[in-house]
Amino acid sequence: MKTFEVYKLAPIEPVKASGCKIWDKNGTEYLDLYGGHAVISIGHAHPHYVEMISAQLNKIGFYSNAVENSLQEELAQKLGELSGYPDYSLFLCNSGAEANENAIKLASFHTGKKRVLAFREAFHGRTSGAVAATDNPKIQAPFNETANITFIPLNDIKAAEKELSTGEYAAVIVEGIQGVAGIYEPEKEFLVELRSLCDKLKVVLILDEVQSGYGRTGKFFAHQYSGIRADIITTAKGMGNGFPIGGVLISPMFKAVYGMLGTTFGGNHLACAAAIAVLDVIKNESLLENTTSVGEHLFAGLKGSKAIKELRGRGLMIGIELNDKYLTIRDRLMMDEKIFTGTAKYNILRLLPPLCLTKAEADIFIKAFERQIEIIDNE
């Protein structure tokens, strides 16, 4: 058997990693400014993380949700405290798509309604409901097409009001910052007005913080910059620092009923140990503060570069929209400078490094970026 080739692979195989560094099978060192799609939050192979997972594996790695698991309670308590949502409940699952799937389902159960309002260029995952709320027909099979989702432009409060006033909507789903689209942030006023529209019309507000959450922007959740609270928040990526886990934070207004949600693997012992270790490190190593200051350092270092059309984002979630002449820069960074970055569309570089990135490491990137601009200019 061979693998089903749905991924375009870079010709590099990482075999070892530590902090923000990766080594390939030939021993070449790379600087990781992508964190494997924003997944590595506390840094590769963090000793506390390795210790917690190893110790747990030696005790019990898995049992189903049919029995008590106090690790889930510990995780919920620590997540509530650190995220500023101590009064919410936590449902654990395995991925971002699954978290969104459950969030949409919960909103629909709660309101008894079918429709969901989503935003142009949104990405919420690839399972049935999540992909339907994703504005990309290329990844929707005919089976996923549904009249239950409507897309409107981000930040268009009039369009939101027009749709929600029909009274047909269970929920609005919005990313804390649109990631896959290329780092586009909902405006503060927009989120504030959307929040009050949802209150007025009894629509559930779902914040998808799968990419923008877990400290990535310098606050625990990106939407907290606008001062609003969501009814449901979904998380995944940074939550397990690479161990697959997703979470749904649920407002006290929702009533849990036995059997309404469920999963075999979600909330297993190993996943909880990984997620608890992540929260411990975020707190003990002040990674939110580090994210803010290193993010500002990166912004300051990149601002004004002639290669950049627009610089967007917050903290360590940065979108660099490139001028046409410099579109080859990502490949050059990877192959010539040994730095991993990500992309969005054809002209946007995405920086999503581990939150422990240092200013010295950020400077390595800034210098390499400038060097490659010079090389392109001289070709």
Q: Is 335 helix (H, G, I), strand (E, B) or coil?
A: helix
Could you tell me which stretch among 7-15, 123-131, 152-160, 197-205 binds ligand PLP (CB under 6 A)? 123-131
Query: Given the rule CB under 6 A, which of 18-26, 121-129, 306-314, 344-352 is the region that contacts ligand PLP?
Result: 121-129
Which residue, 130 or 288, is less far from ligand PLP as judged by CB? 130
Q: Which stretch binds ligand PLP (CB under 6 A): 58-66, 172-180, 308-316, 352-360?
A: 172-180
What DSSP letter does each residue of 93-134 carry, written as one string? ESSHHHHHHHHHHHHHHHH---EEEEETT----SSHHHHHTS
| Integer Cα distance of 61 and 274 in angstroms | 11
Least distance in Å: CB of 185 to ligand PLP?
A: 13
- When the beta carbons of 206 and 368 are compared against ligand PLP, the nearer one is 206
- Kindly state the number of chain residues that form the binding site for ligand PLP, as judged by CB under 6 A: 15
Q: Return the residue of 173, 180, 281, 307 that touches ligand PLP, per CB under 6 A.
A: 180
Q: Is 185 in the site for ligand PLP (CB under 6 A)?
A: no
Which helix (H) or strand (E) covers residue 76, if one does? helix 70-83
Q: How far is the CB of 210 from ligand PLP (least distance, A)?
A: 4
Q: Does 175 bind ligand PLP (CB under 6 A)?
A: yes
Would you count residue 124 as binding ligand PLP (CB under 6 A)?
Answer: yes
Q: Is 355 in the site for ligand PLP (CB under 6 A)?
A: no
Q: β-pairing, 14-18 with 21-24?
A: antiparallel
36, 96, 129, 267: which one contacts ligand PLP (CB under 6 A)?
A: 96
Indicate the residue among 210 and 307 with the shorter CB distance to ligand PLP: 210
Does 211 engage in binding with ligand PLP (CB under 6 A)?
yes
**How many Å apart are CA 166 and CA 202, to the nearest integer?**
12
Classify residue 68 as exposed, middle or buried by CB count within 10 Å of its CB (0-12, 13-18, 19+).
exposed
The stretch among 46-54, 122-130, 280-288, 305-313 that binds ligand PLP (CB under 6 A) is: 122-130
Q: Which stretch binds ligand PLP (CB under 6 A): 24-32, 40-48, 119-127, 152-160?
A: 119-127
By the rule CB under 6 A, 123 interacts with ligand PLP: yes
Map residues 225-254 to x or -, x wherever contact with ligand PLP holds by CB under 6 A: -----------x------------------
| 108 Cβ contact partners less than 8 Å away, ≥ 6 residues apart | 114, 116, 170, 171
Instruction: Determine the distance from the C-alpha atom of residue 326 to the mean position of all C-alpha atoms in its chain, rounded to a whole number.
Output: 27
User: How many other CB atoms are found less than 10 A from the CB of residue 296?
Assistant: 15
State how far the Cα of 123 lies from the Cα of 27, in Å rounded to an integer: 35
- Of residues 29 through 88, those in contact with ligand PLP by CB under 6 A are 37
Closer residue to ligand PLP (CB): 209 or 337: 209
Structure tokens at 347: 């002209």
State the DSSP H helix or E strand holding residue 375, giving kind and residue range, or none if neither. helix 359-377
Name which of 7, 17, 15 is nearest 43 in CA terms: 17
For 165-286, where are the alpha helices, taking DSSP H only?
Answer: 188-201, 269-284
CB of 47 to ligand PLP, least distance (A): 26
Contacts with 211 (C-beta within 8 Å, 6 or more apart), sequence order:
37, 38, 96, 175, 176, 177, 179, 180, 237, 317, 352
Q: What SS3 class is residue 313?
A: strand
Identify the burial level of 6 via C-beta atoms within 10 angstroms of its C-beta, where 0-12 means exposed, 13-18 middle and 19 or more buried. exposed
**Which residue from 36, 125, 129, 295 is in contact with ligand PLP, where contact means CB under 6 A?**
125
Binding piece for ligand PLP, criterion CB under 6 A, among 1-9, 109-117, 173-181, 265-273: 173-181
Tell me which of 79, 97, 104, 132 binds ligand PLP, using CB under 6 A: 97
- Of residues 163, 208, 231, 337, which one binds ligand PLP by CB under 6 A? 208
Contact residues toward ligand PLP (CB under 6 A) are 37, 95-97, 100, 123-125, 175, 179-180, 208, 210-211, 236
